[in-house]
Each structure stands twice: as C-alpha cells, then as structure tokens.
Structure 1
C-alpha cells in the first residue's frame, strides 16, 4: 500500500503575484505587436488589444488595490505584497509597458506609411484636403460638441470613464499674463469615428487619415469666440468600473444592476492619462479635481489605442497584411443530416472552434426550437453576441409553447447592459429567465434539451469551454461536447434545478461543479496522481486553462510534483505557480501561447494509472471560479474523443514558435527552437479536424 502524500506549507517566495503575472501576460500580447513575422494589420490589432487589456486591468484590479489603500488595509497577500508595495510595482511596470506601446506604435505607423496608409497632421493637408476636413467638421463634428467652462459659477463637469477629452487653456486679449488663465474641457464624441479618411491627393494611391481630436483642435477657436487658446491637450480618466451590488437587499436584481451601471460613471478616479507636453496649469487643475496623486501617465502619442482594432478590420484592399482567412469546417458528424438527435443517439460529438463552425451549436438549439417532440430547453448565457441566433431560437421555442428556461448572467463584467436587453427580450417571448444565485456568477456553459421519444423522455446536452457567442467563437479556441449519455443528462437536469430552485447539493454521477465540489474533486484527482507516482504506477497531469491563481490549488500541484508526478500546465494568462524550482516544482512546466486566436479552452488530463481521464470545463483554477461562481467540469467518455483532446494538448506542448515558457523568476522566454522543425500549434490544429474527418469516414 502506498504511503499517503505529505502536504507542506509554502512561503511567500514560492508564489508569483497574480497582478504582476498579468502584466507579464499583457507583455506577451505586446510582443505579438512587435513581432515582424506577424502580418502588419494583425500587429496593429495586438497593439489595440494590449491597450484595452490595460484599461480593464486599471479599472478593476488596480481600482481594487487603490480602494484597499484608502481603507488603510496593510495585510500582505499570500505572495508577500502589501497593497502599497504592490501598487508601486504595478505602476512602475505598466509605465514601462506604455512607453513600449508607443515606441511600437511609431514603428508600426512608419510601416503603414510604406504600405500607403498615413495618419496626417491637419497642417500637412493640401488645400483641397483641408477644405474637405473643414466641411466635415462643420457638418458632422461641430453640431455635437459642447464646450464646458470651469469657473466659480460652473463647477467641474462629470468626466466619463475612459472617454477622451480636450483640456483647453484660454486667455482674453489684454489679460495680465500673471493672472490665472481660463479653463474648459471638450469631450471628443465617442459616437463619431475616431479617424476620418481624407480624399486622396492628386495622382496618389495612398490613403490618408486624420484623428478626430486633431480635427477638433484645429477648429477649437470656433467654440471660444473672443478668447485665444493657449493650449489644447488631450486627456482621459480611468475610473473604478467594478460593480458593488447588494444582491441580498435588492428586490429586483435587474433594476439594481441598471442603477449600478449608472453609478459606474461616478467611480473613483484610478488613472489619468495626459498627452506629452500637457499645459502645467491644466494638469495641476485636473490632478486637484480628480485627487489622482501620482497615478498620471504621460502619453507620447494618441491617447487610447483601441481605435486601431477597427482600423485593422476596416481596410478591404489590404488582405495581404492580414492572416489568411480561416473558413471553419462544419462538423462532419452533422454534415449529412438534418437530425442532430439521431446522430447523438448513436455517438458523442466533439467540436473544436474556431476550426469547426459554431453554426453547429446554433443549429442544435434551432432544431430543438423547431422540433415538436422537444418538451423543454434549458440554457446558461454568460456573454452573447449582438445579434444572437441562439437567443432568437429560444424566444421562438417559448412562443410555440415549449418550456424554455434561461440562466442569464447579468453580472458578466462590461456585458451587463447587453445581457439585460437579452433578458428582457427572452422574458417578453415567454421564457423563464433566471438571474442566478445570490453572491455567485453563473459561468457554466451548458444546454439541456429534453425530448419525448418512443421509449420515454431523452436528454441531449451540449457542454462547452467557451461562451455561446458566435462572434468570439471565430476568434477563440474552444471545445464543445454534444452528448446524450444518460448520466450526463441526469446531472444536467439536477444542475439546472440547483440554479433555479432550492435543490440541495447533489452527489454527481459525472459532473464536478463549483462552488460545491469541483475544488475537492480536482484535489482528489491530483492526490490520486501523487499516490500513483509514489506507488510506481503511471502518473501525470496536463491541464490547459486561462489562469491559475488559487493558492491551495498551487500547493496541491507542488505536493504532487514533490511526489514525482510530471505536470505540464498550459496557462495563457495569470500563473501564480513557480515551475522548475528544485525540491518544490522540479516536475512542473508552465507554458503560455499567445497567437492569432485567443487560447480559451479548459481541458484537464489525468493519467489515472494508465487509464487516462479527460475533462472539459468552464473554470480556470482561480479563487473566483472555484468558490464564487457556478462552474462545470464534464468528463469525456468516448475513446476517440479523448484521443482528439490529447492531440490538442500535445500540440500545445510541442509549440516552439508562439509558446513562451515560464521561468522560476516569473519571466517568460520563447521556447528554444534550435534545429528543431518549427511547430506552431494554432496553424497545425487544422490537422486535428482533418484527422477527425478522416477517422469518421471509416
């Protein structure tokens, strides 16, 4: 009989801080913008993603740390940082990252110019171009501008979160130069295009663009007759954007979230971005008004690079500067049939996005909505696209008399307003809409279809690692399982009953669920591998996820490594575990892949003494996922589908082009290729779908 695995206590130095690890992740995103082997417009896209990532990080994570400081919180976290020490380090590292962003922007701007795409200053336009821009300003921009003066009779106006503004410093003719100047702000309209295409110059094929804020600055005098603008300086304020809900005291959660979204505009200031050369009087006034302290970023270029995403997608004649277009294959199992249920009575089906089309998921729900034999449809919705065919199918099903229950997560950060709109549409159609359980986000991705058949009711289930969102399914790598396995169907029914009713925690036949038992189940699976290793049996763990930050989970992995278990972790983002430390994590490797598609699938492999078990999950190994969310972990039983998942994992582990390997010091380094044939997992993944189609043809 093997000895029990010894558990150890670990010190602060055995962990990487979550927020500092996130900064390293965003640095990997920035590296994709810097990589000359990446197509030019894709590099522009990565630069935009880096910018919007940092915005969210500041408005949520840094905002939380700032709140701790204001409350006088001084306790160290499990990685050894106090809020004050952590904030200081975050600001230093993000400051360097911003400098790198704008250095990269200047390089990319020069590269775009060589391709005939130019951002032109207003003063460099030809007379005809200037006339066109003057007309555009008069017709489309000036009517929506509102200059807002700040003086004794007019208090400082509300500055919205992450909106671009111009600070205008003014004087009147004859004023004493020693007197304080006048001050006003002008919001750059967010409902107008950030960049405007200018008519081409004579005999030129180049495309030129002018930034909206530059056009407004050029015409600023039109709003301040009788005053002379001394300086016009762009700035942007980041506020705390995290929702603070009193769910237990809320009579109507939907109304409470709508109120909180309005209060988000008034969130406490976290970061002030100002363009380089900002007028000192205007800067002092802003710092005093926002009580921002030293959290001021001087930007050497246009503030807010999110507009680059639209630019990268909106140039139809420049496909040679993008990745080749991927046409997702329709899953072969459903290719030659109009009856999903007939297929699923015979076998389970695994779908690998974006290489296989998300249309299969939409068609599954659509068929269920139209099938007279379907009695009920139950589904969770976390993030949904703007024009969702799935939501339309659910509404249609309810209107035809089917029992339709939808768990809509209203607290999906920054998608709250869209989800509220969907919830109202579904309720209007007659669906039973549930907003989840108090204190928990519903993050599980599952659909249950109950159908009346000759032998009685039969359940059909879809479980996914990603959201029911057809847009992100083209941009994220995710895996979905279709099945009619009875024990999965029975567990699915119980899970929905727990989410909508008062069911007590269940002894699951197949699932692991958070927050009740997933953590304990994972600990049990990890401990079993450690016991097998100690007993000389085959043992090993491969886990693919977005983030790993739960301290106790990290400790269990350390214990397993010390017992001799080989553990390969594929963690795209945050990782608090230090791999490769002698006597602690010798048997653990961690790698991150940042490439064309966002790695989003959660796949867990346990060797199990030579009889591997594989699981799909909605959950990362983070504290929030394991303790504060409704999450799902579902086993895959079919041997062929297991093999497909193993191929996906092994492909990630052999990537030597886009993989970065985590070192014990918390830094990431590219996998050393040497003389090895380059292997880029996302480019080779199409072969897995081809193999699957080849296998199914026999």
Structure 2
C-alpha cells in the first residue's frame, strides 16, 4: 500500500511512514521501566514502576497478543497499515518483550539490593533465625496449609484448570521405595491469591530491619506436608496468561448484564497465550506444562519471583519509610468553590475548570452530593465507566433516587477488567430506584458527563460537568485530568440530547457545542484540521496542540500529515501509543511528538487549534484511536470562557516545557529524553505549586 501526498512530494510507502501500534506500546512500557531504573526516582516508587510494567504486560499479552494469535489461527495474513502481518508482528513483539522482561528483572535485582541497604529484606527460609522459623512454621500450618489443594496429574486425574495469571507450583516427585529411574510423578499447587503474597517476619534481636518472605517460598519449604509417601525432587513456580478479552454476542443477548457475567465465567478458560516459569524448572515439569497448554515458543524463563505486581501493595503498606517515597501531595480544593456551598449560584456566574490531581476530586464528588441533597434538583443523569470500591458518588446517586429524584445512570459493563465491579454497582443502583442503562449495542459508553436539572423559579436550569477522566476518586489522585463545570445553556441542551440518544431512540443530532463519537467526532476533528490547513496556506497563524493517551487511527495520522505539509505547526503530547512518524522530510517535519512518564499517569485529553488567532480549546474523553472514534460513545466539549482558555494553555505549556521527564519521539520510532540548555523544568512538579494562573485570576477579580 502507498499513499500519495501533495504535488512535489514523492510517493512514500506506507510501511515507512507509520509506526506499528503494538510495537509503539512496547516502547511506552519501556519508558515506564526507565522510571524504575532511574536512581533519582525514590526507591519505593521504583518498585511501584516495576509493578506497573508487569500489570501493563499482563493486559497487553491477554488482549493484544491474544488477538493477534486469534488472527493467525484463523489464517488471516494481511498486512496492517504499518506493514506487518499478524504472524510477523508476533515474532517482533515476543523478541522485544523477552528483552524487556530481562531488563525488568535485572532492575528488580538492583532495586532489591538497594532495599536491603535501606533495611527492607526479602528473605529465604534458610536465612531465618530460630524464632522466625518457628513463627513461619506456625503461620504455614495454621493459615496456609488448610487452604492448599495439591492436584495430581496422572492417567486417572486429568490436568486441572489453571487460572489466568495465578501463580502455581509445579512439583515433580518420586514414590518412596520406587526405582528413581522410573518416570516421576507430577502435581501442581495453586499459591492462594486470597492470602498476602508477602508475609512479615518477626524482628531479629537488636535489628530494625523489616523482613518479609514470599508465600510461595514458605509453601515450597513445607511442600512435603502435601505429599506424604512421596519425595519432592523439584518445586518451581509457573504462571499462565490466557486470552482475557470478552467476546459478546450483544445482538443476541436478551440481558447484557447476564451475558457479561457468563462471559466473565468463561474468561478463566481462555486460550493460553504466555507461560512464565521460574528459572531452573525441572525439564519433565516444563515438558508437561508446554504440552498441556500447547505453548512451544512463548515461554518466559524468569530469574526472580513471578508476577511483580505484588510490589504495588507492599510499597503502599510499608510504614516508616517516607524518605523512600515521593513527597506527599495534598490536592487543593478548587478555589472557586472554597468559600461557597452553593455550586449552582456560582456556576450561574462563571465556568470552573478543575485540574486533577493537583486540585481535589472532592469538588466533583461534592457537586454530585450537593445535587443529590438539593430539594430543587429534579433529575441527575450521569455516565459511569470505572468507579472506586467505595464510591461516595454511587451512594449519593442511590440516596437521590430514594428521595424521589429522577436518577439515570449509564453504567458501562464492558469496562475491561472492571466488569464484575460495575455489575455489582449496577445491581445496587437498580435496587435504590435508579434508572440504570447499559449503553448501546456494539458501543462502549466512554464519555464522562454529569447533567443536573434544577427547578429555579419558573424555569428549569441545567448544570453540567464534563471530564477527561473517570468518576473515580481513587484514580483521580494518580491520574492527571481536567474537568469543566458549567451552566452554559448550549452545553446543557447538548447534554440533554446526548443522554436522550443513549437511553432512548433519537436520530443523530446537529450538535451546538459537542462533538460526539461514533457519529461526528472524527468529522469534527477533520474539519478543525482543514481549517488550520487553510489558515496556514493563507499565511495566517496555524497551530495545533493535542494532548492525549494514544494516536493510532490511520485517517487521523494522514490528516495530521496533510496539515503538516501545508505548514501547520503541530505539537503532540502523547503518553502512550503513537503510530505517526514525526520528522519525515516532505511529510511530517512540522510535527513533534513527546511523551511524559512521571509520578502521575498523564490522562487528560486537551486539544488546541489556533484558528488564525481566535484560538479554540476542547477537552475530551476520546483518544485518537479507531475504537474511540468508531466503537465508543465519546464526547468532545469546547471550553468557552476566556480565562479558562488561559488555564488550558498553561497546562499544555507546562507539558511542552518539560525537559526532565519528557521524551521525544524520533523518526526511527525510538524515544530520547529531551535535553536542552534551559533550567530543569518538570511539568508535574511545577503543576503541584498550583496554579499560578488561578492566583493571578483571583487577584485580578479582587
């Protein structure tokens, strides 16, 4: 496949102008790993990044690689727009991931050495003193042993179900008194995932060291207790990753909630995708595992503990090591709301923009709570994609429904790996009297919006919150996002129409302010790109800044290439996947791409168009990926208040000035740290000083 550009630009093969989505994702995860490798990152934060690398890889293998394997199995061998067949891409992926995992565990061993110096030790059983051994023996017999189930594999007992991403022990045994040259016996033992992976040891005399032992180490030492009359000759851990993507027949599902519950149950039998085994595994055990799971090549030999995701919990639970963490940040309550409990009167006067996590998500929660308790509020409508375990928003919505308000909640049941939690909330909300809607067939509802309808004298007034992130008070402390509060009539009217489209039968709408996927968001963006292109050709100011998580839709990439060729300056701030190749002569030399990986997960989607000097800003729930533009209900909303436009530009400007944690995408697909002669500028740390623009804004108003 090839693509023709404007006159004077030669034809360029597509494989040379696009970066592959999955290989780009691997480079993103490598940037996460670099944070774990960086000695300037506090030690307990480094182990968190090691954990994130593992959890990212788990999802990538169980979804993206699993999907590619399905294509290979189905005989699909067409090239994608970056030039790869599924089979060829899998080979490249596995080679790069194998190298990354090797680097990850090299980093793990280095971090572990540093932890020991700081008095945090993971011990082997043989290293314990008598008191510690006695305590651990008692813990094993009282707590662990009753939970364990040894599962033999032989002619009468077939291979048991091995659960997705659980750690197991493969045990090779001989029977006492039998000829040791006979074929050995084999069994597996699941390491309980409902017990702590790391167990705290009693302190040694005159020592302040915090010592831990991994539960599998304790089980391995006591393995004989499970196999009386047999002699264990080898015990090694293994872990299986299965295809975990949901395959739903939504058209034929009478009840989507029940269908998803069934599919979640089937997920545990997903096709094996990856086998991780502990270094030194007995050849007989490895042969049986590979044969059972039909995995020949995709075996990862791990020199260290399997599944480093446990590090996240451990790092969060350790007490007394604050010097090994980032300094605590206490999000500030939005200044606009500090001196009032009457959100509605304030929003009548002005729009408010809140920047998380530097400003507290409590402002959003309090808005919903205030609306739930206000007797003049008649209706609350809200989309929920991912919520926290004990969400005060859920409780407020339930209370509002119980008090007689019309409460409509669009719950996205298909939020990957949060399906079970969302099902639980959906059932609870229904019991409270909320109207719970599960979205539209074939589409995920990913838009983040709340609509409050209030009786005010002889009229109804609409109040709206639109955000770039989920209504989740937990992740709002970890992700950077922006949210707009407004009583703007046009935005309010569009919000009502949007909910009507989701919950009822409505033809596609001629939006006044919003752009909504899958029907019009992509066309709106193309329109904005074309307008900048026309400005550039006419010699007027033309500039695009776009901040998002991922850019992988080919049409969007091509539209950006066309704008670049016309002379539009384009700065892209893309945390994760980017399929656009910058810096190609005659094609993308006007485009820069940078990625920031730091303490917080960059999650906000903000789009700026200079528009010949009359700048426009938008916030959105949508990345520029095919799934966001064609298979999800997404929302892009303009920021109309002039002062808030200044805010948005400052947020973007911080990212563009970062020369500490920003990496620049090179034309070869690799990323390099941005280095210049300017003083160090770390955008997230600068934003913690919140927010110079707000201070000036309030001084001006005073």
Name the counterpart of 1:16. 19
Native 8 Å contact 2:358 2:690 kept in 1: no
Query: How many residues get paired?
Result: 694
| 2:696 matches 1:669 | no
Partner residue, 1:684: 686
Distance in 2 of aligned mates of 1:493 and 1:141? 55
Counterpart of 1:487 in structure 2 is 490
In structure 2, the residue matched to 1:138 is 141
Alignment of 1:248 with 2:248, yes or no, is no
Give the structure 2 partner of residue 469 of structure 1: 472
How far did residue 10 of structure 1 move? 5.8
Q: 1:328 aligns with which of 319, 323, 331?
A: 331
Deviation at 1:5, TM superposition (A): 8.0
Listed one character per residue, the Cα deviations across residues 371-413 of structure 1 (whole Å, up to 9, x for unaligned) are 1110100000000000000010000000010000000000000
1:616 aligns with 2:591: no
Greater shift, 310-319 or 248-257, is seen at 310-319
**Residues 646 and 693 of structure 2 are in contact (CA less than 8 Å); yes or no, is this contact kept in structure 1?**
no
Match of 1:73 in 2: 76
Aligned ranges 1:250-649 → 2 under 5 Å: 250-649=253-652
Superposed displacement of residue 12, structure 1: 2.1
Rounded Cα–Cα distance in structure 1 between residues aligned with 2:105 and 2:296: 23
Counterpart CA distance in 1 for 2:668 and 2:258 is: 47
Aligned mate of 1:230, from 224, 228, 233 = 233
Question: Which whole-Å CA distance do the structure 2 matches of 1:9 and 1:497 have between them?
Answer: 46
Offset of 1:303 from its aligned partner? 0.3
Deviation at 1:362, TM superposition (A): 0.5
Query: 1:312 Cα shift?
Result: 1.0
* Alignment partners' CA distance in 2, 1:156 and 1:686: 54
SS at match of 2:462: strand
Q: What is the CA distance between 1:176 and its match in structure 2?
A: 2.3
Give the distance between the partners of 1:643 and 1:548, measured in 2 at CA: 25
Matches of 1:90 and 1:618 in 2, distance apart? Answer: 29
In 2, the alpha carbon distance for the partners of 1:691 and 1:550 equals: 34
SS at match of 1:186: strand
Match of 1:47 among 37, 45, 50: 50
- Partner of 2:527: helix, strand, or coil? helix
1: CA distance, partners of 2:216 / 2:397: 43
The correspondence for 2:207, drawn from 200, 204, 207, is: 204
Asked if structure 2 preserves the Cα contact closer than 8 Å seen for 1:48 and 1:306, the reply is yes
3-state SS of the aligned residue for 1:367? helix
The CA deviation at 1:553 is 0.2
Q: Residues 332 and 693 of structure 1 are in contact (CA less than 8 Å); yes or no, is this contact kept in structure 2?
A: no
Q: CA deviation at 1:174?
A: 2.7
Instruction: Name which of 92, 96, 106 aligns with 2:95.
Output: 92
Are the equivalent residues in 2 in contact too, given 1:10–1:555 (CA < 8 A)? no
**How far apart, in 2, do the equivalents of 1:578 and 1:401 lie?**
54
CA–CA separation in structure 2 for the residues paired with 1:310 and 1:651: 31
Measured against aligned partners, the alpha-carbon deviations of 1:501-559 in whole angstroms (never above 9, x if no partner) come to: 01000000000000000000000100110111001011000000000000000000000
CA distances 1:555-588 after superposition (whole Å, capped 9, x unpaired): 0000000000000000000000000111110000
**Distance of 2:588 and 2:303 partners within structure 1:** 42
Let me know the Cα RMSD of the aligned residues.
Answer: 1.1
CA contact (8 A) 1:170 1:228 kept: yes
The 2-side partners of 1:618 and 1:411 are apart by 16
Q: Helix, strand or coil for the counterpart of 1:578?
A: coil
- Show the counterpart of 2:242: 239
Contact 1:5–1:530 (8 Å) recurs in 2: no
- Native 8 Å contact 1:356 1:689 kept in 2: no
CA offset at residue 173 of structure 1? 2.2
Within 5 Å, which residues of 2 pair with 1:78-157? 78-157=81-160
Q: Does the CA contact (< 8 Å) of 2:479 and 2:600 recur in 1?
A: yes
Equivalents in 2 of 1:135, 1:63: separation in Å?
Answer: 42
**Contact persistence 2:384–2:410 (CA under 8 A):** yes
- The aligned counterpart of 1:696 is 698
CA offsets, 1:41-78, max 9 Å, x none? 00010010001000000000000001111111100100
Q: Which residue of 1 aligns with 2:219?
A: 216
For 1:376 and 1:289, how far apart are their aligned partners in 2? 55
Question: Secondary structure at the residue paired with 2:165?
Answer: coil
Corresponding residue SS for 1:620:
coil
- 1:614 Cα deviation after fit: 0.1
> Shift of the alpha carbon at 1:694?
3.7
Q: Which runs of 5+ in 1 are unaligned?
A: none
Q: How many angstroms does 1:292 deviate by?
A: 1.1
TM-score normalized by structure 2? 0.98
- Structure 2: which 5+ residue stretches go unaligned? none
Task: Tell me how far apart the structure 2 counterparts of residues 381 and 692 of structure 1 sit (CA, whole Å).
Answer: 29
Q: Any conservation in 2 of the 1:647–1:688 contact (CA below 8 Å)?
A: no
Specify the SS of the correspondent of 1:333: helix
The offset of 1:454, in angstroms, is 1.6
Contact 1:5/1:527, CA 8 A, preserved across alignment: no
Aligned-residue offset at 1:9: 8.0
Cα displacement (A) at 1:455: 4.2
Q: Deviation of residue 315 (structure 1)?
A: 1.1
Q: 1:675-696 CA distances to partner (integer Å, 9 max, x unpaired)?
A: 3200000001134424314412
Partner Cα separation in structure 2 for residue 651 and residue 378 of structure 1: 34
